[in-house]
Amino acid sequence: MSKLSDRLIAFNKDLLPDMVQLKYEAMTENAFRFYRGTCHLFYQDLANAEALPLSPLVWICGDLHIENFGSYKGDNKLVYFDLNDFDEALLAPASYELARMVTSIFIAFESLDIGPEKALKMARLFVKTYCATLAKGKSISIEPRTAKGIVCDFLTAADDSTEKDILKKRTVYKKNKIMLSLEDERHFKVDKKLKHELKAHINEWIATSSDGPYNYKVKGIIFRLAGTGSIGVKRYLFLLKSTNTKNKYLFVDMKQARPSSVLPYTTVQQLQWPTEADRIITTQKRMQNVSSSLLSTTVFREDSYVIQELQPVKDTIKFKLLKDEYRDIYQVIDDMAALTASAQLRSGGIHGSAIIDELEAWGTDQQWQDIIIEYSRKYAEKVKRYYKQFVTDYKAGKFKKG
C-alpha cells in the first residue's frame, strides 16, 4: 500500500464504512473531485512546505474551492451568492485560504479541458480582485439586485424557485401521502429505531429552539449523501409539514460536525468551542453577510450536528457549462475573489483575527501575490500525481472494506 493510501485510510477510518466506499468511488471521477475529497492532504503538505508568505490571521472556511460558493436562502428569505461550506472553518493565516482556492482553479480548469493559460489568468484575476477588495476595506454582498452576468441569472433562477420545485424533486406520492423519495441514489432508508429517535429529537428541537420553524412536525426522514469530502459523515434529511397551513412543507438538513481537518496543521491558538457544530455555525455567521435559513446546532447521540433549511435549487455554479464562455467565467471568478476578501473583512477583529487596517495593508502588498500563485500552480501538479496514484490503488482494491 502506498503512503498516500495510508494517509487517506487513516483520515477516513472514523466515517461510516459503507459510505466511505462511495466516497472513494466518487473521488476516482477526476483530479478535481479527488481534491475536493482530500482537504486534509492539502494542509498536511502545506504544514511541511513552509513555502507561503507570512499573512494576517483571519477566519477561513478552510476548504475554499470553486464549488464551495453558491446560492442559499438567508434567514431574511432573500437569496444570496456567497461562501457556503464551513465544515473546516477556523482561525488561520489568510494565505491558507488563498492557496487552497487558487489551487482549485488550476485543477478544476484542467479537469474541464480549459487551457493552462486561461487557468493562470483566472488565478491572477482571483488574487488581484481579492487584494483590491481588501485594500478598499469594505465588504460586499451579492444578491439578485447587485449580481452581474451569469451570477445574476443564477440567483434570479434561485429566487424564482418555489417550495413546490423541491417537493417534486425530493418526494413521491403514495397511499394519499407525500413521502421522501428513495429513488434518488443519494437517499437511503433509515432503520426504525434510529428513525423513531430522530423524529422525536427534531420535533423537540422545533418545539424548544428559537432557531426552529414554528408549527411544524416531522413527516419523513432519510439518510442523505451530498458533496464529496463530507460523504461518510452522518447526514439526515427531514420532511416537515405545517400544523396550521394546508399543504405547507419544509425540508431540513442535519449534518454531523467533525473537527476541522486544518486544525492539526496550524499552530494558531483556537477558541474552545462548546461543540464542533458551534464552531461551524459561529464562523459561518461571522463570514457570511446574512446567515442561512434555520441555521442552528443540536446534539444527538453524543454527536453535534449543524441544522439548516435545505435549499430549493442546485446551489453551485456548474463550470462545466461555462467552459467556453470566457466572459462568464471571468465574472464568476471576480465575484468569488471579492466575496472571499469580504468574508475576511466582515469577520475582522473578532477573537484573534486581523483588524481591517492589517487586512488593507496585506491587500496593498505586492510582494506575496506571485508566491501564492506559483505555490498553487506547483501544488496542483502534485494533486494530479496523487490522483493517478489513488486511481491505481483503488483499481488494485486497496480501499475495499476489510
Model pLDDT for residues 272-326, shown as the tens digit of each residue: 999 999 999 999 999 999 988 899 999 999 999 999 998 754 456 666 656 667 6
| 202 dihedral zone (left: phi>0; alpha: psi -120 to 50; beta) | alpha
Tell which wins on pLDDT, 177 or 37. Answer: 37
Q: In the block, which residue shows the cell 490571521?
A: 57
Residue 333 grid cell: 471568478
CB proximity list for 101: less than 8 A, separation 6 or greater: 64, 65, 66, 126, 336, 340
State whether 167 and 284 are in the same domain: yes
State whether 335 and 255 are in the same domain: no
Residue 379 reports pLDDT greater than 80: yes
64 three-class SS: coil
State whether 254 and 292 are in the same domain: yes
* pLDDT average, residue stretch 147-167: 80
Question: Where does a domain end: 277, 309, 341?
Answer: 309
Q: Which domain holds residue 269?
A: 163-309
State whether 233 and 252 are in the same domain: yes
Question: Where does a domain end: 309, 341, 374?
Answer: 309
CA atoms of 301 and 304, how far apart (whole Å): 8
pTM of the model: 0.94
pLDDT value for 323: 60
Question: Where does a domain end: 268, 284, 309?
Answer: 309
State the DSSP H helix or E strand holding residue 35, giving kind and residue range, or none if neither.
Answer: helix 31-36
State whether 347 and 262 are in the same domain: no
State whether 99 and 207 are in the same domain: no
State whether 372 and 301 are in the same domain: no
pLDDT value for 36: 96
Number of domains in the chain: 2
Task: Say which DSSP state 277 is in.
Answer: H
- How does residue 21 score in pLDDT terms, banded at 50, 70 and 90? very high
pLDDT value for 170: 86
Percentage, residues of the chain above pLDDT 90:
73
47 three-class SS: helix
Taking the CA atoms of the chain, what radius of gyration do you get in angstroms?
21
State whether 340 and 279 are in the same domain: no
pLDDT value for 321: 55
Q: Has residue 126 been placed in a domain?
A: yes
Q: Has residue 154 been placed in a domain?
A: no
Tell which wins on pLDDT, 274 or 162. Answer: 274
State whether 296 and 330 are in the same domain: no
State whether 254 and 380 are in the same domain: no
* pLDDT average, residue stretch 348-352: 96
- How does residue 1 score in pLDDT terms, banded at 50, 70 and 90? very low
Q: Has residue 401 been placed in a domain?
A: no
Mean pLDDT of the chain, nearest integer: 92
* pLDDT average, residue stretch 93-117: 94
Q: Has residue 326 been placed in a domain?
A: yes
* pLDDT average, residue stretch 10-18: 95
State whether 196 and 136 are in the same domain: no
Q: Has residue 39 been placed in a domain?
A: yes
- How does residue 64 score in pLDDT terms, banded at 50, 70 and 90? very high
pLDDT value for 159: 73
State whether 199 and 324 are in the same domain: no
Q: Has residue 73 been placed in a domain?
A: no
* pLDDT average, residue stretch 102-125: 93
pLDDT value for 324: 63
pLDDT single digits (tens) 188-221: 999 999 999 999 999 999 999 888 898 999 999 9
247 three-class SS: coil
